Structure 1
Amino acid sequence: MLWEQVKLIFNSSGSVNTHRMEMVGDVRSKNCSSRLGEAEVGHEDQYYFRVHNSGMSATYCDDFVELKLKDSAWTPSIVVSGSDLKERQSVTITCSVYTPCLPSPPELTWNLKKNSHRQIEKVVDGTFTSKLQETITLLDTHDGYSIKCSARYPVKGGFKQSPETVETLSVSYAPKDTKASISLSGLVSAGSRVVLSCSSRAKPPPSFNWYRNNKDGANVVSTEQRYSFSATPAEEGDYYCEATNGVDSETSTRICIDIIDAHFTPSISISVGDLRERQSVTITCSVATPCPQSQPELTWNLQQDSLRRTEKNTEGTFTTKIQKKITLSHKHDGYNISCSTRHPADKNGNAAETEVTLSVSYAPRNTSVSISKSSGNWVELSCSSRGKPPPKITWFKKGPKKFTEVATGNFHKDTFTDGDEYYCVAANKLGKQKSSSISLTVQGTSGAWVFALKATLGIAALGSIGFFIDKWLKTS
């Protein structure tokens, strides 16, 4: 039974029910409640519970329920664990609302996560609270995010909606999307004004540093968000900015500044100084590269489509180069290697070119003897040979038993008798070569002289129309 002060308002048997109440649960299981479905302003009072059984009655006078009515639903509250919120931090977010009636708890909804599990807890003062709870790891995208939570209480004929509670998160996060920009293109003219700007998204707002890479590493050149300077060759190189706040820091991508008036002439180097035939050498065309992200184009006449690569030097600078390994021959002597470079950002297509002429030493070759002059009983012989350095010429004449050295020099003048035979040897520091021999023979009674070669390496040129080849005379 329920009594309002001393007036009976509800009996579980149903014989008395002035407030349109109902029994919820099972009395025999000692788990039941009485529910007042339509509370009105006049129902505010103190209510007592009385047990009546077979003529015995007991009233719980000290344990009464005081009914107070609220015209609107309770507003939920949102609590975020932790005060100084930072990205990558794990926090628990709770939306809770007062729950006056356990059998008919309020429904909570929010925009943090759908289908979050609802809990009902008894608090210290003995009342109850319904709540939604989620644990999340904060991101930079959570900064400024508004968590919205509302409750609706079941009443007869529907629900009573609570006002919506909104909690906006304030999350500190490290710099993001840090970018460096330049007022001009990467290739600038000497003397022009260059402005570098750094942008970044962070909370709290970041401070900025500008760095330039040189042979000693990265040096700070400015502590401002914008850095301006007059372009000179000394200012060439890689620039980047760094944004820093109390959470962390982030660097931008690099901006490479080339001065268009600076010297970009390539150089050609050969791995060996004293070039000789049959020698294997590596030939390199290279050019200084202030900005490795903006490599100059290199072309040469030594090989098409040579592989271009950029290397970091020991002093921290960069060089772009093309290379080819070749085995030298006499044909390379006097060969001109030309190499040109052009910066890809140079819209005018200006190119700088370098040439190197190869000087290759080689052994004598194409050594031969010819008749340059003749008169009476003397003849002047000429020895020709191609070699580098120019070869020394030695003359040999056939004696009774063997050939003996008779003279040196390119020309040899001698008196001769029938059957005399000569050859020459050309020699330099790389080798020597022997010519074919020439045989001098007298034919006929007119005293005309005939000169002929023993054909081993070639045929000598005859110096007079009255001379005939020995073999042709014998055949005829």
Structure 2
Amino acid sequence: MKEETFSLRVSVNDDNSYSCALKGHEDHRSPPVYAPKLLSVSASPSGEIVEGSSVNLTCSSDANPAAKYTWYKENDHKLPSQQPQLFFFSSIQPSESGEYYCTAENEMGRRSAHVFIDVKYAPKLLSVSVSPSGEIVEGSSVNLTCSSDANPAANYTWYKENQTLFQGPERVYHFSSISSEDRGNYYCKSENKHGQINSASLFLDVQYAPKLLSVSVSPSGEIVEGSSVNLTCSSDANPAANYTWYKENEDSPKASGQIFTITDLRPEHSGNYYCEAQNTRGRRNSTLNLTVVAGAWKSAAAGSITAVLLVLILLAVFLWIRRENSFTQQCKCGERPDNRAQLNVGPVCDTPSSAAQRQAAGQQDDLHYASICFSQNQGDVVYSNVRVHPQRETEEEEEEEEEDGVEYSAVRFNNASSAPGTRRQEDGNDSCALYSTVNNNKNTP
């Protein structure tokens, strides 16, 4: 039998299948040949593919002769495969997400099919950023951004010092006009159904000029001369403020620093003091009044001096009044009083002068001397001391019945307020002398 070969050229793009038979023997056709068809690619397990799981990609087709399979990932990147129809991931990663396709090829033609692999995973690579970068000044606009890699997309929660501020899909937390109260630590949380993660903390430093300025003095209460005090100035400022102390109406500063110490206080330290708090964002002033009082010993000394001065003034007035009264009494003493009622003009002492005593001794042996004192403080009471000469005491008793003796008494008025110099007038004409005649006649009742 002669063997013959026939050939047929067909397009590989059609879906036809071809077979051959001998003429007259059409019932005995050869098996059909055709290019790959009904090509499909599947992933196992089906459903969501989660990071770290194992995944099989399978490619199948109907082809005669049998097709040869090749795996590719996006951009015709050929992948090695240990099995013709199977591509295997032992622990799939998010980076392996993408479009995969396989080709089935035989002598009759070539076909391809693809599958998209979406690997799901919890948030990762979380970070927080602030804009604008650099120094943040109170009143400016600021954005905090939380970024993460997650599939499916994450929801974000913002915190300040463990206090929840905001929750939602937005990654940005916005300050339209940031204030000093917004200063602090911030962080965010990124979360989806596969897991969650917290970011590192971000410190938001808001700078502002000094405010809430106050001044105080220690110790408090009355400030006594000679003591020491501390003047303290405090404020809320960022960056920290520098402090300078001034005294009112003085141009040069008194001190620098938060505490100003004044030792050995004097009255001249009294006045208004103010401190100035200043940083790169501004300055502010606050005033304190300081009053220094005299010490206890000075107060006592001042009181003693005042009392002494008052006593001296009163004494001067008293002496002046006494002097005026004395002058008036001396003038009145120039007249002789006629009775005892007129003698009550002040302390009066009657003492005979030396000359009178000598004259009386020469003329009359029985002269009696009398000393009479008139007290101004006692109405009409008169004290009289009559002294009898000792040598004549007996003779007087004998001659008492026979002689009518006359006794002369010199009465002298002494003003207690008179100056010592005025007593020199006693030997002469004493303006206050009063003469009294005493009849010592026995027959006189």
Normalising by structure 1, report the TM-score: 0.44
Higher strand share: 1
Structure 2 length-normalised TM = 0.47
In terms of Rg, which structure is larger? Answer: 2
